[in-house]
Amino acid sequence: MDEIPVKVAVRIRPLLSKEILHNHQVCVRPVPNTQQIIIGKDRVFTFDHVFGKSSTQDDVYSSCIKPLLVSLIEGYNATVFAYGQTGSGKTYTIGGGHGAEEEKGIIPRAIQELFQAISENHNIDFTVKVSYIEVYKEDLRDLLELETNVKDIHIREDEKGNTVIVGAKECQVESADEVMSLLEAGSAVRHTSTTQMNERSSRSHAIFTMSILQQRDANNGATMISSKFHFVDLAGSERVTKTGNTGERFKESIQINSGLLALGNVISALADPKRKSAHVPYRDAKITRILKDSLGGNANTVMITCISPSTSDFDESLNSLKYSNRAK
Ligand code: ADP
Ligand code: MG
């Protein structure tokens, strides 16, 4: 195979202070000097990148994301996903824009680098636009324009095969600070404090997109290059167990987020060496339809699987490692 369509990184967060307080033990760790992870006594998985508990935000950005930003400017689409159970570090890794400089996640770093590149390339005319969408129960919500009715947002494919989200606000931006305010405002909408909304934000996917248009004024005619970078904070991968109202025993119905299921199928179809002939099931969910032109093909994709190290999360961590293993 010429290109690996999806690279997979796994990041194990440190134990949180409340976990240390409750004497949680660690059940998953990187194998030193390898790209492997061991969970439990002896289950070993191999990935493209492995980040342990002392990895920094800069480590993750520099090794996984920087190359995608470089190719974005060369005209290729890119997607980064954060996958994992609620509380595993997805939002921390993707970065909603809060906190100290060194704590900043992927999005603020990518924004800064993009505007740095723009300021260094005077011969290119850049237009940058951002949008911020949430997918919840297969409905789209515009996090930059709350008044927009979910029914007025649609996914369409244009004649060139580009995915367009009709009805979603695209803000043209001139500086990194401007992007950060939009990101912060949109993220604040997602993370309100009521439990109902927290439930929603853990069950929904958030897609922050930077689209760039470059006009290069070459001597023999101008060229236009357009490309986009999606940053996706996926819904929590945990299985939601619903308790029935039948008294003595809990009836559990296991419900897995349909978007995550569809995404897993798309990613494993892309990773299949016979994929040229294989059907890639993009149409099965909104999230895969939105990302269609930025997953596979000439696009660069990185999935960062976030893992809690605690033995109390063993089952979910093992599930996440198995899911991510399908991408190879
Ligand atoms: P998720 O978005 O997957 O639900 P969060 O990103 O909110 O998880 O992380 C849960 C908690 O763990 C937060 O308090 C966050 O600050 C902390 N955390 C996550 N990853 C790390 C890390 N690599 N280093 C330090 N703290 C982390
Ligand atoms: Mg989160």
Separation between Cα atoms, residue 76 and residue 97, nearest integer Å: 25
Select from 13, 94, 103 the residue to mutate for testing ligand 1; criterion: most ligand atoms less than 8 Å from CB: 13
Closest CA to 190 of 146, 241, 137, 240: 146
- Distance (angstroms) between ligand 2 centre and the Cα of 118 equals 30
Q: What is the mean pLDDT of residues 199-212?
A: 89
- Distance (angstroms) between ligand 1 centre and the Cα of 308 equals 9
Q: What is the pLDDT of residue 311?
A: 97
* pTM for the whole structure: 0.93
266 has pLDDT over 80: yes
Question: Atom 19 (ligand 1): residue with closest C-alpha?
Answer: 89
Q: Token match 């927290």: residue?
A: 198
Q: What is the mean pLDDT of residues 102-128?
A: 95
Q: What is the mean pLDDT of residues 71-88?
A: 96
Select from 21, 54, 92 the residue to mutate for testing ligand 1; criterion: most ligand atoms less than 8 Å from CB: 92
- Distance (angstroms) between ligand 2 centre and the Cα of 123 equals 39
Q: What is the pLDDT of residues 150-171, one digit of tens each?
A: 889 999 999 988 999 999 999 9
Q: What is the pLDDT of residue 93?
A: 97
305 has pLDDT over 80: yes
Question: Atom 23 (ligand 1): residue with closest C-alpha?
Answer: 13
- Distance (angstroms) between ligand 2 centre and the Cα of 87 equals 7
Q: What is the mean pLDDT of residues 240-264?
A: 62
246 has pLDDT over 70: no
ipTM score of complex: 0.99
240 has pLDDT over 90: no
Q: Ligand 1: which atom is nearest the Cα of residue 82?
A: 3
255 has pLDDT over 80: no
The mean pLDDT value of the chain amounts to 88
- Distance (angstroms) between ligand 2 centre and the Cα of 72 equals 25
Q: What is the pLDDT of residue 98?
A: 65
Asked if 123 and 111 count as a contact pair (C-beta separation under 8 A), the reply is no
Q: What is the mean pLDDT of residues 42-49?
A: 96
* Pocket lined around ligand 1, Cβ cut-off 6 Å: 13-14, 16, 84, 86-92, 306
Q: What is the pLDDT of residue 107?
A: 97
Q: What is the phi/psi pair of residue 66, to 5°?
A: -50, -45
pLDDT-derived band at 190 (thresholds 50, 70, 90) equals: confident
Q: What is the pLDDT of residue 244?
A: 41
Q: What is the pLDDT of residue 223?
A: 87
Residues in the chain: 328
55 has pLDDT over 50: yes
52 has pLDDT over 50: yes
Q: What SS3 state is found at 214?
A: strand
- Distances 198 to 123, 130, 178, 191, 203 between C-alpha atoms, Å: 46, 24, 26, 6, 9
Ligand nearest to the CA of 206: 2
Asked if 76 and 295 count as a contact pair (C-beta separation under 8 A), the reply is no
Q: Ligand 1: which atom is nearest the Cα of residue 13?
A: 23
Going along the chain, which residue ranges are E strands?
A: 6-12, 28-31, 36-39, 43-46, 49-51, 78-83, 124-136, 139-142, 154-157, 163-166, 171-173, 205-216, 223-233, 240-243, 252-255, 300-307
Q: Ligand 1: which atom is nearest the Cα of residue 85?
A: 3
pLDDT-derived band at 216 (thresholds 50, 70, 90) equals: confident
